[in-house]
Chain A
Amino acid sequence: MKRFLEKLVESALLISGSVTSITILLIIIFLFKEATGLFNSPVIEKGYVLAMNKSNPVKKLSSYQIKEIFDAKITNWDELGGKEEPIEVVRLSDLTKYYTEEELGASFENIPAKASELTAKHPGIILFLPEQYVSKKFDGTLLKHETLQPGDFFGGNEWYPTASPSPQYGLLPLLLGTIWVSLGAILLSLPFGIAVSVYLAEISSMRVRNILKPLIELLAGIPSVVYGFFGLVVIVPFLQEFFKLPVGETALAGSIVLGIMALPTIITVAEDAMRTVPRSIKEASLALGATHWQTIYKVIIPYAKSGITSAAVLGIGRAIGETMAVLMVTGNAAVIPHTLLEPVRTIPATIAAELGEASVGSGHYQALFALGCILFLITMVISISIEFIGKKKY
């Protein structure tokens, strides 16, 4: 009986222990299930079709090409490998330019017939209309089942999820925005982080350390939304004033806020690493006549190298995944940044800002989950690489 109870408790504990693993598994399943749906979803809005003249040799259009056509950036079919023929963009509302209201019918019952007729008559036409207006014997090529290509997502230069008729889900501006902000943050915080950890581990007295350490841990406890608020009311106006910018909400503001937020992580990990340096090695260095400072930079820092690297990687991980603070201070313009003084938009900020507007199951919703997958993969790579860096210790 007692034995049985012991076993029972042990299995209950094992089940609890497996919760984190199950969660990781579920995150992977749910995120990737939604994300792969993106590549099965049509490039044009659901419930709509694009129609072209039958004689047109172009039978396929990518999401980006459709957008360029409707933005009048591409104006001739020969740019898309077709014949020399100007592109004629027609939306449903434009039908009134070709037909009178009487011709279209009082309750628009003639639209299917007229749309078909118009498509057949104009060789350069591209017509965007709801599926319900496509008659059975429609005289033209229908672009209906084109799906979004992985290249459109991973190589896309534009994030414009509300564009009509073809929303743009290009990853690049968001990915680059994330990288810029995070790199800026780590460049700002790493020198400080290492300096503070050296000071705490080697230089300061125990009394000073016992005061500084809890204060720095307090920095880690401040919620990210408070950092965002502080950034918005203090750092953003300051940058705007200092650099004479049109808007202060820039990548640099994000980097500064994230740099402050990453500091406690970097300091804690790097300090722990420096504390693991064996006393004998330190004493040997000092005994050979090296000063304390020489011992620090020639012995302790090289010895703690792997720990300092993990600190930097962890700091980057923290910066990449940070959402609210970045959302509040970076200005959220989904364009590829050229300098740190421009507004950018990061992957987590995009998810947080747009998921509320995206209807469940839509392409936009799936695209945001795809972003979540990218973020998840990045952080997994970071976690795993830290395991490896940690193992390299001698």
Chain B
Amino acid sequence: MKDKKNIKTNTNSSSPSGVRGYSSKRWSQTIAFTIFKLMSYSVVLILIMILGFIVSKGFSAISWDFLTKAPEDGMTKGGIYPAIVGTLYLVLGSSLFSFPIGIMSGIYMNEYASGNKIAAFIRIMTNNLSGVPSVVFGLFGMALFVNAMHFGDSILAGSLTLGLLSLPLVIRTTEESLKAIDFSYREGSLALGATKLQTIRKVIFPMALPNIITGLILSIGRVSGETAPILFTVAAYFLPKLPSSIFDQVMALPYHLYVITTSGTNIEASRSIAYGTALVLIFIVLLVNILATLLRNYFSKKVKI
């Protein structure tokens, strides 16, 4: 397609003057670059449209009561407090599971098994896991945690499922952050007589920490918006009371948005609640991204690797 365009402009402007080619080449470049520029800005425009739409429609729904009250009247009134709390619990639970394991596997892959077959195997498996669709995680979480391990629909089952889902992301961030550290630091530490473990604990890991934390924050953003994995492992349609143990069901923001837009008792009446919920979700994502960017900038100024 692009070739054709280029040929066309070439033949069109094959001017009689000796500089044939040069101006036409310039022209096709200008045209192509303009098209690319327009397409790039239109992608940004899509983002602005989505954000602008949800912010403008959802803003009026947001109030103190909306954030601190339970849904009322078949979810057409009231707030989304239980869903916010539920999502917080799920994020916390999945982080407790995925952060330690993910960071440890990242360290193992980069510091211990770097370049050998075990690391290559783990990397392939991790990549495969990151490609598994979220709904398959939901199926798996239901089969393993809810049914086989008898956790039932619970925060525990949901957190473990979400934790497994975010594990590849955590591993990859850790590995990348460790990889970015120059080898001379390791050699320097080892040359001073430190053991491998001491080197990792005292030198390498602290240096990689800012980048790792940035990655962890982004994974929180991902977890808080996932719906399919929690559909059958934890999410409750309507549950005004807050959970009292990790074996309780909870409401969750993304699932709440899904049910009130598709299967609520009165879809039209709960539209403004839906806009409000979408805005809260978007707000979490924005917050997480801004936080991650700020951290990255702050540390990149402070720590010179």
A-B residue pairs, 3 tightest by C-beta: A223-B225, A321-B133, A16-B104
Q: Given contacts A324-B254, A372-B135, A379-B132, could you give 9 more A-B pairs where the C-beta distance is less than 8 Å?
A: A23-B129, A34-B143, A196-B39, A221-B288, A230-B53, A294-B29, A320-B133, A321-B132, A322-B133
User: From residue B178, how far is it (CB to closest CB) to chain A in Å?
Assistant: 12
Does A108 interact with chain B (Cβ within 8 Å)?
A: no
User: Which of B35, B196, B257 makes the CB contact (< 8 A) with A229?
Assistant: B257
**B 265-305 to A, binary, CB cutoff 8 A, 1 in contact else 0:** 00000010010001001100110110001000000000000
> Is A16 within 8 A of B101, CB to CB?
yes
Does A263 interact with chain B (Cβ within 8 Å)?
A: yes
User: Looking at A34, A233, A382, A386, which has the most chain B CB atoms within 10 Å of its CB?
Assistant: A233
- Show the binding face of B for A, using Cβ within 8 Å: 2-3, 6, 25-26, 28-29, 32-33, 35-37, 39-40, 42-44, 46-47, 50, 53-54, 100-102, 104-105, 107-109, 112-113, 118, 121-122, 124-129, 131-136, 138-140, 142-144, 147-148, 164, 167-168, 171, 195-197, 218, 221-222, 224-228, 231-232, 254-255, 257-258, 261-262, 271, 274, 278, 281-282, 285-286, 288-289, 293
Q: Return 17 A-B CB contacts under 8 Å, by A number.
A: A13-B107, A17-B109, A20-B126, A192-B42, A196-B43, A200-B40, A219-B46, A221-B222, A221-B225, A223-B285, A230-B50, A233-B271, A293-B33, A324-B227, A355-B138, A368-B139, A369-B139
User: From residue A183, how far is it (CB to closest CB) to chain B in Å?
Assistant: 17
- A residues contacting the other copy or chain, number (CB 8 A): 85
> Is A321 within 8 A of B40, CB to CB?
no
Given A24-B125, A192-B43, A291-B26, A203 and B138 contact (CB-CB distance below 8 Å): no
Q: A residues 280-302 with Cβ under 8 Å of B?
A: 291-294, 296-297
User: From residue B39, how far is it (CB to closest CB) to chain A in Å?
Assistant: 4
Does A142 interact with chain B (Cβ within 8 Å)?
A: no
What residues on B are CB-neighbors of A187 within 8 Å? none
What residues on B are CB-neighbors of A215 within 8 Å? 44, 47
User: Which of B122, B224, B227, B288 makes the CB contact (< 8 A) with A21?
Assistant: B122
Name the residue of chain A whose CB is nearest to the CB of B237. A356
What residues on B are CB-neighbors of A223 within 8 Å? 224-227, 254, 281, 285
> Is B136 within 8 A of A214, CB to CB?
no
Q: A residues 159-215 with Cβ under 8 Å of B?
A: 191-192, 195-196, 198-200, 203-204, 212, 214-215
User: Which of B105, B131, B132, B281 makes the CB contact (< 8 A) with A225?
Assistant: B281
User: From residue A171, how far is it (CB to closest CB) to chain B in Å?
Assistant: 16
What residues on B are CB-neighbors of A297 within 8 Å? 2-3, 6, 32
> Is A195 within 8 A of B40, CB to CB?
yes
> Is B289 within 8 A of A372, CB to CB?
no
What residues on A are CB-neighbors of B122 within 8 Å? 17-18, 20-21
> Is B136 within 8 A of A321, CB to CB?
yes
Q: A residues 344-361 with Cβ under 8 Å of B?
A: 348, 351-352, 355-356, 360
> Is B167 within 8 A of A199, CB to CB?
no
